[in-house]
Structure formats: C-alpha cells, structure tokens
Structure 1
Amino acid sequence: MKIAATTLGETAGDLFAQTLKLGYFLTTIALFLVFVVTLVVQLRSSHYNPFFYWTVILSTSMAGTTMSDFMNRDASTKFLSNGATKLGWGPQGLGLGYPEGAAILISLLLLIFLGWKLSGMTFQITEIVTFRGEALFWAAILVSNTLGTSMGDFLSDSSGLGYLGGASLVTGVLLVLVALMKVPAVPNVLLFWIAFVLTRPLGATAGDFLTKPVAKGGLDLGTLGSSVVLLAVLFGLMAYAQLKERRTAATPEFAGPEAETVQPQRAGHR
C-alpha cells in the first residue's frame, strides 16, 4: 500500500502541477491544505480507520511531490518554452537544486526528531498515545516524503541511473534494511524511518517510469491514466484493509490495530 500511495502521489502531483499547468506554487498550497484537512479527520478519529490513515499518507505524498519540485526546480522557463500562457499564481520554483534542497529537508527532519526526543515521547510508532506525539509523527511523515521525492528525482534525472536504475538501487537498499532487522544491535526504529524515507524515491522513480516519454526511458502512459489506475489499486487495498480491520476488531483478542499497519495508537487510547 505504501508503494501504491507514494507512486500515486508522484503521478497525481505531476498531474496537477504539470499536466493541468497549475504550477508548483499553487498546487503546493492546494495539496498542503488537502493534507491539513485529511490530518484533522485522522486526528479526530476515535479508532484506527485504514481509509483515514492511508488518505493522509497519500496527501503527504502528493504534497511532498510538489513541495520538492517547488524547492528544487525553476519551472518558469520550461513552461513558457512549451507555450504555456498560464503558469498558476505565484513563483514556479526556488531553483535550489537537489543538494541544497535535500540539506534543508534533512535539517528540518532532524529538528523534528530532536523536538520529539526532547518531549520525552517514545519513537516507537505503535506506542504513540498523545495528540502531540501523533502531530510530530505526521510532521515527520510529510518532511520524509518531501525528502524522498528529492532523492527520487535526483536518482532519475541527475544520477544517470534512469528510472529503472534508480528504482533498482532503492529496492536493493530496502532489502539490506530488511536483512538488518535480524541484527539486534541495529534499532528497528532507525530502520523504520530510513525505510520510510526510501519508499518515497521508489514511488517517485516508479511514477516517473510510468508517465515520462519513451525517449526518456519511461512508458509514456500519462499522468491522468496512471493516476486513475493507481487510485483504483490503492482504493482496493484500503477496502481490503478496512475489511480485515473489522474482522480483527470482532475477535476477543483485539487490542488495537495490527502492528504491521505502523500507525500511531493515540486514537485507540482515548
């Protein structure tokens, strides 16, 4: 589900910003507001709901896509060269570049973790039981997805690996992380956050592979068609997760969402 959500986040973000020519700035504002709305719904929920949880994950992926593009690129020249007459309101990019953008995002993520640590709250995701803890969790998720988008775009566009090469590299690193889970000396919390960041560039490279022209190494399926298919896949997976959650809740042994969902448990402890 995470890969489906992050890939859809890439294709949908590009759909709004590039295909529909709304521009990075206006799309970023709109998608950030979508994130806020979905987050409020999630925080107000009295129990774990897969639709709410994964909708927030999707909204962070979409917002992260355009936030990263706005930071790293300056699309004005590109849009004008394609004959666009309307770029959307506001500037079309800061043009920081991938290294500078990544440095800012890594610093911001470290600050969030520092605040998390100083608050005295646990980093164990399944043990988050406070509103503030869940707010920090989702802030880290948003920044992680934005950072992951920058990493994915760098691998696809600037590293020379291409879409499949970048995806293969990230997949290999994720497999190493899975192997490290068997090593007691390596904290699972650290592995979780590294893996979470890396699933985003995997989704970004996969999304670009689906939508970019064949001449650039993609399948040229378009952002609209790819987004519709991915949305159907994600919706089906969420429906299955919802059904599974209801069946689990009906059993006497039920004590909250299964650990594999890796979602904060605050709502279940109200």
Structure 2
Amino acid sequence: MTLAFWIMKILATTLGETAGDFISMTLNLGYYVGFGITFAALLVILVAPISARKFYSPLFWLAIVATTTAGTEISDMIDRSFGLGYLSGSIILTLGLAISLGVWYLRDAKLDVVHVNRRDTETLFWIAVVFSNSLGTAFGDFLTKPIEKGGLNLPRDNASLVTLGLPGRCPDAVHVEAAIKDGRPAGVVPRQSNGCRLCRRISPAQFCPGSRRPFAQQGDMQGQPRMMKH
C-alpha cells in the first residue's frame, strides 16, 4: 500500500506539473490565462470530493492532479508574471501555507488528516494542499534556476536530493499505514459509517513541499524548458 501510494503520487504530480506547463507554455496562453483555467477547473473538481458522502479514491486523485496543475500556475505567475522571483515567491507561499494550517488548527485545535469529519475542515485541507503544491514548484525552481535569475543553479539531481531530504523533517512525512478495514485501507471507510469525511492514513507529508518537488522534477524534464512568460 505504501509503495502504491507513492507511485500514484509520482504519477499525479508529474501529470499536474506537465499539464500546467502545457496550458501556459505549449499552448502559449500565458500564466494569467493558465491560472484562470486551472483554478476554475480546480474549484469545479473539488466540489465532488467535498460534497460526496463517502471517500472515492478516483475523486481524491483527480483533486490531487488539479491542485498540482493549479499550483504550478500559481507559482509561475507569482515568480514570473508578478516579477517577485523564486525566493520571494517561496516565502509568500510558505506564509500562505502557514496561515491556512494556522486557521485549521485554531478551528479544530489539531491538524488531523486521518479523521476529517466536516466539510469546512476538508476545505481547509485542500487549501493547504494547493499552497503546498505551489510552494513545491516555487522552491524547486529556486533551487534549479540560474543565479542571475534568482535561483541557486543546482543541478536537478542535487536539487532532488535536497528536496528528498525535506520530508524526513516533516512529522510522519512518509507514513502511509497499510491495513485493511472493511475491505479498504485503514482509515478509508465510508463517511456515513463514522462521520469521517477524509479518512485516510496519509500524513502531513501532503503539506511538505519536499514531498512533491522530486516528482515534479520529472514533469520539468519531460516538458520544454521553462521560459519567462506572462
């Protein structure tokens, strides 16, 4: 189960990153239009898992792809269209992630991604995921882009090693518990059975940018080079 989760995470992240670049760069629509398209699609897609009465795995992974795609556009728009650069973009997105998690904690007195039993809490979960995915793109670009463009100019292999080390600094970052309960992985149970809306044994790694960026590097390498575009 753990291996299967991370394989799906790699595929979903790579697909989202590539889709974001395809919309803004390959189709030459730019980051503003790309953001409008991907964010509108994200809002529509998130309605399904948030309004559903039980957990559906396809809806969850579709939402992950949507948040990754929109996160790519958000990061590129801040870094390039707004001209704030990769470091400033990373700082802004870090603050956004911290605020969203802070609001979640103040409302629930905990950050529990195992048993989410209210729609408002699940909404905060997805907001935090969008910020974390955007931060993953911005931070990865900061590591790999040339120094004259505001990056550290690290080779992709070295940047991947740096970001692969970050999840280990996040609480329970690579813990995906494998067990079976009513024919489902532990925590993935019908919402109506115990009121749980987002029951999954998925750790705070979802909010750690380092858990995303090594996979997003694959999307960068498969697509065309990133260019300054508005």
Query: Hey, what does 1:17 align to over in structure 2?
Result: 24
Could you list the runs of 5+ residues in structure 1 that have no partner in the other structure?
74-92, 183-188, 217-270
Matched, 1:106 2:94: yes
Query: Hey, what does 1:131 align to over in structure 2?
Result: 119
* Consecutive aligned runs of 4 or more in structure 1 exceeding 4 Å deviation: 175-182
How big is the shift at 1:195?
6.4
Q: Is the Cα–Cα contact under 8 Å of residues 16 and 66 in structure 2 kept in the other structure?
A: yes
Equivalences for 1:55-134 in 2 at 5 Å? 55-73=62-80, 93-134=81-122
Answer with 1 or 2: which has the greater Rg: 1
Query: Hey, what does 1:196 align to over in structure 2?
Result: 208
The one-letter amino acid paired with 2:158 is: G
Q: What number of residue pairs does the alignment pair up? A: 188
Distance 1:10 1:137, change over 3 A: same
Matched, 1:146 2:153: no
Q: How many angstroms apart in 1 are the aligned matches of 2:26 and 2:47?
A: 29
Matched, 1:36 2:43: yes
Instruction: Identify the range of structure 1 (107-116 vs 61-70) with the bigger mean alpha-carbon deviation.
Output: 107-116
Q: How many angstroms apart in 1 are the aligned matches of 2:206 and 2:58?
A: 25
TM-score normalised according to structure 1 size = 0.63
Query: Hey, what does 2:158 align to over in structure 1?
Result: 165
Q: How many angstroms apart in 2 are the aligned matches of 1:195 and 1:140?
A: 7
How big is the shift at 1:166?
1.3
Q: Is the Cα–Cα contact under 8 Å of residues 67 and 129 in structure 2 kept in the other structure?
A: yes
Distance 1:167 1:181, change over 3 A: closer
How big is the shift at 1:176?
6.4
How big is the shift at 1:199?
2.2
Distance 1:51 1:98, change over 3 A: same
How big is the shift at 1:25?
0.3
Q: Is the Cα–Cα contact under 8 Å of residues 171 and 204 in structure 2 kept in the other structure?
A: no
Instruction: Identify the range of structure 1 (13-22 vs 104-113) with the bigger mean alpha-carbon deviation.
Output: 104-113
The one-letter amino acid paired with 2:222 is: L
How big is the shift at 1:175?
5.4
Distance 1:212 1:168, change over 3 A: farther
The one-letter amino acid paired with 2:39 is: F
Q: How many angstroms apart in 2 are the aligned matches of 1:103 and 1:151?
A: 9
How big is the shift at 1:196?
3.4
Q: How many angstroms apart in 1 are the aligned matches of 2:74 and 2:58?
A: 24
Query: Hey, what does 1:242 align to over in structure 2?
Result: none
Seq. identity, % = 33
Distance 1:123 1:100, change over 3 A: same
Question: Which structure carries more helix by proportion?
Answer: 1
The one-letter amino acid paired with 2:13 is: T
Render the CA deviation track for 1:117-151: whole Å, top value 9, x for unaligned: 21135312011101111011000001110111101
How big is the shift at 1:174?
3.6
The one-letter amino acid paired with 1:171 is: L
Q: How many angstroms apart in 1 are the aligned matches of 2:24 and 2:17?
A: 11
Distance 1:195 1:46, change over 3 A: closer
Of the three residues 186, 206, 211, the one matched with 2:223 is: 211
Partner secondary structure for residue 212 of structure 2: helix
- RMSD of Structure 2 on Structure 1 (CA): 2.5
Distance 1:208 1:192, change over 3 A: same
Q: How many angstroms apart in 2 are the aligned matches of 1:167 and 1:27?
A: 26
